[in-house]
Amino acid sequence: MGRIFEPAQHLSSWRRLAPHVWDRPRDPTVYGVMDLVVDRALPYLDALGSVSGTKVRITHLVTKGLALGIKRMPQANGIVTRRRIALRKDVDIFLQVATEGGRDLSGTKLTCVDAMPLAEIARELATRAAKVRRHADPGVERTKNLVHRLPNALLGLTVRAMEFLLYDLQLDLSRFGIESDQFGSAMVSNIGNFEGFGMSFALAPLVPMSRCPIVVLIGEVQKKPVVEGDRIVARSVVTLGCTFDHRMIDGAQGTAIAAVLRRVVEDPEKELGPVTARTPATPDSATGTAL
């Protein structure tokens, strides 16, 4: 009798890496879904884009709101290391970037996102994403080359060894071209904009090697019926699929982060300040108070 399954050929670097990253599912993970009305956000983003000279989109607004929510809940901004909680000092967000026509995934980390103006988030991400897609990002290319060079027998061992050295021993491996805490406080990915995806909603697994306790997937903006008082009206709605590491984040913390995120996305002018003739000043919180 012949083999039922045949080895897959010509796998992307991510698909080669994935079987070595996850074991069989066994640990509990918390999932959440948020429907956010973006009728106020869309014209706000268009106006800010016109003023700043760069396209500002829902991805950037969600990233900003998530960073402000994490800033409000510092006990949720950390990692589990040696079965203990260790907290991060900054709120850094890893944004995934689709490459090869959506067949592979890479990404880039923005640092101190809670302190970045919204237009700056958009500019920085556009610049870095373009480098990733041109294969001009040294860190991403080093990682991909390592994944492609290592045989399967060593790939999983290497990934877990790097994870242990970086997060459990907290060693500085920068001289080897390995950035510390490469993924930061949370991961954000827009599946509505990925080529060939165009999905309205999905939930993502946590990536154990990243020690990142939050993953947020942004769906495609769609017109949906919304109940307002006694009326049903059509509104522009984006659905977020949120995944949390329950060891790091409990229900109260997750709810508090989600509340800030909702306020920022649904009414950015109130929370971040109005769009003026120049890029708005950096707010120190979700209240929109400028520094």
- Please give the full DSSP string across 39-59, using - where no structure is assigned: TTHHHHHHHHHHHHTS---HH
Compute the distance between CA of residue 254 and CA of residue 32 in angstroms, rounded to an integer: 9
Tell me, what's the pLDDT at 102?
65
Residue spans of beta strands (DSSP E) within 157-220? 186-190, 214-218
| DSSP H/E element including 270 | helix 268-272
Residue spans of beta strands (DSSP E) within the chain? 30-37, 78-81, 84-87, 93-99, 104-110, 186-190, 214-218, 222-228, 231-244
Burial (CB count <10 Å: 0-12, 13-18, 19+), residue 47: middle
Tell me, what's the pLDDT at 283?
43
Closest to 124 (Cα-Cα) out of 108, 140, 143 = 108
Closest to 107 (Cα-Cα) out of 251, 235, 252, 215 = 215
> Which pLDDT tens digit goes with each residue over 229-256?
999 999 999 999 999 999 888 889 999 9
- CATH number assigned to the domain covering 26-272: 3.30.559.10
Q: Which residue has the higher pLDDT, 206 or 3?
A: 206
Tell me, what's the pLDDT at 122?
97
Q: Which residue has the higher pLDDT, 102 or 11?
A: 11
State the average pLDDT over residues 120-142. 90
Compute the distance between CA of residue 201 and CA of residue 282 in angstroms, rounded to an integer: 31
Closest to 200 (Cα-Cα) out of 240, 171, 234, 165 = 240
Planar angle of CA 158, 163, 164, nearest 5 degrees: 100
What single letter denotes the amino acid at residue 174? S
State the average pLDDT over residues 74-99. 90
SS3 state of residue 259: helix
Planar angle of CA 74, 203, 194, nearest 5 degrees: 105
Contact 96, 107 (CB under 8 A): yes
CA distance to 147, 175, 189, per residue, from 132 (Å): 16, 21, 15
Transcribe 122-147 into DSSP letters. HHHHHHHHHHHHTT--HHHHHHHHHH
Under DSSP, the state recorded for 280 is: P
Closest to 218 (Cα-Cα) out of 234, 244, 198 = 198
CA distance to 33, 211, 251, per residue, from 80 (Å): 24, 7, 17
State the average pLDDT over residues 104-123. 94
For residue 9, pLDDT over 90 is answered with no
Closest to 206 (Cα-Cα) out of 181, 187, 180 = 187
Tell me, what's the pLDDT at 275?
94
SS3 state of residue 193: coil
**Residue ranges of the domains in the chain?**
26-272
